[in-house]
């Protein structure tokens, strides 16, 4: 598509004429195709789904003079084909994802933190050590540590994950109960 091409009212009217027997039917069909294109881009993980949809519609409209006279079949399929190409271009030059916002600093005076400390103290020593070690590292180090822990405990990594899950569920329940009790008058 030419970078200097701009969607005009005449071009848009031609698009609506191609999409339906009258302007109203064409407009309804246009909205349906637009919604489906947005859904396609969203399902493919595109953050700029509406912009990519507009780009697709602009490209189809810019080629309409050449395409419409010889095109047979459902015009929506042509849109979807162009959307596929637009998506491929998007993936090729996808911008770097924005880093997630920094987590709020933990205020150690928060009741949740105090309750977590209290609940951790109530755990049996082995469970407390397992939780502290299980959640200690990040990325590959975490994976390696968990494999090492499972080997040391002579269980599978799935069983280790299950143990940690159960302990964490009990901790969550304990913390929730503790916080609700501390907030009661």
Q: Tens digit of pLDDT per residue, the chain (185 long)? A: 445 667 788 888 899 999 988 889 999 999 999 999 999 999 988 888 999 999 999 999 999 988 888 888 899 999 999 999 999 998 888 666 667 777 766 555 688 888 999 999 999 999 999 999 998 888 888 888 999 999 999 999 999 999 999 999 999 999 999 988 887 76
> pTM of the predicted model, to two decimals?
0.50
Domain ranges of the chain: 9-92, 111-183
Distance of alpha carbon 14 from its chain centroid, rounded? 36
- Largest Cα–Cα separation, the chain: 78
């Amino acid at each position: 598509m030419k970078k200097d091409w701009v969607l005009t009212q005449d071009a848009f009217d031609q698009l609506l004429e191609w999409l339906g027997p009258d302007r109203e039917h064409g407009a309804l069909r246009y909205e349906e195709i637009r919604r489906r294109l947005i859904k396609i881009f969203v399902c493919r993980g595109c953050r700029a789904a509406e912009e990519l949809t507009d780009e697709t519609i602009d490209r189809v409209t810019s080629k309409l003079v050449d395409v419409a006279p010889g095109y047979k079949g459902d015009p929506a399929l042509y849109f979807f084909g162009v959307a596929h190409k637009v998506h491929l271009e998007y993936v090729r030059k996808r911008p770097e994802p924005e880093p997630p916002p920094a987590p709020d600093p933990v205020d150690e005076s928060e009741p949740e933190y105090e309750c977590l400390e209290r609940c951790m103290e109530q755990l049996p020593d082995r469970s407390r050590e397992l939780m502290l070690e299980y959640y200690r590292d990040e990325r590959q180090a975490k994976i390696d540590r968990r494999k090492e822990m499972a080997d040391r405990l002579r269980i599978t990594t799935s069983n280790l994950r299950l143990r940690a899950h159960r302990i964490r569920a009990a901790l969550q329940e304990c913390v929730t109960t503790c916080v609700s009790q501390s907030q009661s008058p």
